[in-house]
């Protein structure tokens, strides 16, 4: 019987892993396809408006999988490697034969500076427009989230000792409304970089309003340590320590625990909640303990040897079981934040700007060492996020697409040769000096830009692999 249960759990785990992989691949391919296509369409659309002949519009790189000739002469291509795309325009600098007078009038390099700048800037601008449209859509449909109900601040945090009672509602941060927990976290991160003080407005369980201020000068701006050291944590309703699933070859399986068991006591000491039980487990790797469990209405005892694993360089205890979370546990905490069509349009633009500006500041803090480069994600983690949000629902996936679209827009505007921002930097120099940047300088810039992008991609892949196998 026990072997059959373990085999079923193992098969469920394999199926879950396979479904996660499928969601990740599908979500990533759709995300890259949509975002890259829209970015390149920006270049294409403005180029056509400026009278430039577009030779090829390619989504992806490498061998063409599908191609078609449009009436205006542009070749549409879907290529094998879905990690980018490009728009190839007529340019006499890349032509092996002299261009005719008609072709010269349609060549990119013959267009005035303002037109070339508009064509290059159109890709990132279209990414921002797409993000604003996604944010508009999700605010019209409604964003599922949880209410910003917080717990008493833990000891040794910046807010420790402040009069914040458990189950207080965070209403605003520095005057900015926080209707959901996600909005609260983004606002705190934004204001921690913009201000020396966080002014929190809270509503206690009794309905009384209170103001709490905390200095940000001693707090890091790196997101994870910021929230750890600040001490503003989401209130967690007590979860009964009832087991939902036993992992195969785990300490729980070895002890004979089964799905549905309720942990009543440990060595005769009552276990009140799942969080209390997990806290003891993590602190006692390798410990042997006698558990009292309730199964089928009767209590019995089993001996458990706590397992161990390495997490963040420390050895912690582990059980190998998943908790049974009551379906209605978070019912009173859930909320759906909606806006009207016009209000959501304004919010979409504002949120796109806020995320873009926050991204720029985070990049700046990375350069000076205030924010860890571990926050840089590569295609592996992006694919995982894509799969998780796609499996969760349309609103979550659109939010993910909006965030990545903003990131692509910001990244492409960086003044790095090989990127759109690098070309715009050349055009700025051309506007100042009155003549184009020399081909020699552009060639050196391209080589430097290629090295910088290779280094960035290498770091992103390293972070991905570290998270995957670390």
CA distance 254 to 248: 9
Question: Which pair of tokens denotes residue 66?
Answer: 């599908």
Please give the structure tokens belonging to residue 124. 């990132």
Structure token digits, residue 6: 């373990």
* Residues linked to residue 295 through DSSP beta bridges, in sequence order: 298
Q: Which of 190, 217, 229, 222 is nearest to 370 (CA)?
A: 222
Give Cα 258 distance to the centre of its chain: 36
| Cβ neighbours for 107, distance < 8 A, ≥ 6 positions apart | 52, 53, 89, 90, 91, 92, 99
Beta strands of 44-116 (E only): which ranges? 54-69, 75-89
Q: Is 40 a catalytic residue?
A: yes
Alpha carbon distance 289, 129 (integer Å): 58
Instruction: Give residue 382's Cα distance to chain centre.
Output: 7
Which position among 14, 40, 92, 94 bears the catalytic label? 40
Give the dihedral of Cα atoms 417, 418, 424, 430; nearest 10 deg: 60
For residue 343, give the nearest of 140, 67, 192, 141 by alpha carbon: 140
> Among all residues, which ones are annotated catalytic?
40
């Amino acid at each position: 019987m026990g072997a059959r249960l373990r085999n079923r759990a193992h098969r469920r785990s394999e199926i879950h892993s396979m479904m996660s992989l499928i969601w990740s691949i599908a979500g990533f391919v759709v995300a890259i396809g949509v975002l890259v296509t829209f970015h390149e369409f920006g270049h294409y659309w403005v180029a056509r408006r400026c009278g430039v002949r577009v030779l090829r519009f390619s989504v992806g790189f490498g061998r063409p999988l599908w191609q078609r000739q449009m009436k205006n002469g542009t070749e549409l291509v879907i290529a094998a490697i879905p990690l980018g795309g490009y728009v190839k325009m007529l340019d006499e600098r890349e032509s092996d034969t002299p261009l005719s007078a008609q072709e010269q009038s349609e060549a990119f390099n013959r267009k005035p500076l303002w037109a070339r700048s508009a064509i290059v800037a159109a890709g990132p601008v279209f990414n921002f427009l797409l993000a604003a449209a996604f944010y508009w859509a999700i605010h019209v449909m409604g964003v599922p989230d949880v209410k910003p109900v917080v717990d008493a601040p833990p000891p040794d945090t910046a807010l420790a000792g402040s009069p914040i009672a458990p189950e207080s509602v965070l209403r605003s941060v520095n005057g900015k409304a926080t209707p959901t927990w996600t909005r609260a976290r983004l606002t705190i991160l934004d204001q921690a970089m913009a201000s020396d003080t966080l002014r929190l407005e809270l509503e206690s369980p009794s309905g009384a309003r209170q103001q709490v201020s905390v200095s940000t000068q001693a707090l890091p701006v790196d997101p994870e340590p910021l929230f750890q050291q600040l001490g503003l944590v989401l209130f967690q309703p007590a979860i009964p320590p009832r087991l939902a699933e036993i992992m195969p070859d785990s300490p729980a399986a070895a002890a004979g625990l089964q799905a549905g068991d309720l942990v009543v006591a440990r060595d005769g000491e009552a276990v009140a909640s799942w969080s209390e039980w997990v806290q003891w487990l993590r602190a006692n790797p390798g410990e042997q303990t006698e558990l009292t469990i309730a199964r089928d209405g009767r209590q019995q005892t089993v001996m458990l040897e706590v397992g161990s694993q390495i997490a963040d360089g420390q050895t912690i205890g582990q059980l190998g079981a998943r908790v049974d979370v009551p379906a209605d546990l978070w019912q009173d905490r859930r909320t759906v934040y909606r806006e009207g069509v016009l209000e959501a349009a304004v919010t979409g633009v504002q949120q796109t700007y806020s995320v873009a500006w926050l991204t720029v500041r985070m990049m700046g803090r990375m350069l000076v060492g205030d924010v860890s480069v571990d926050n840089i994600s590569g295609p592996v983690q992006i694919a995982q996020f894509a799969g998780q949000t796609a499996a969760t629902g349309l609103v979550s996936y659109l939010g993910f697409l909006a965030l990545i679209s903003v990131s692509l827009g910001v990244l492409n505007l960086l003044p790095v040769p090989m990127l759109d921002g690098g070309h715009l930097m050349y055009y700025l120099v051309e506007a100042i000096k009155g003549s184009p940047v020399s081909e020699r300088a552009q060639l050196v810039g391209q080589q430097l830009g290629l090295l910088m992008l290779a280094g960035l991609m290498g770091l992103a892949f390293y972070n991905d692999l570290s998270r995957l196998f670390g």
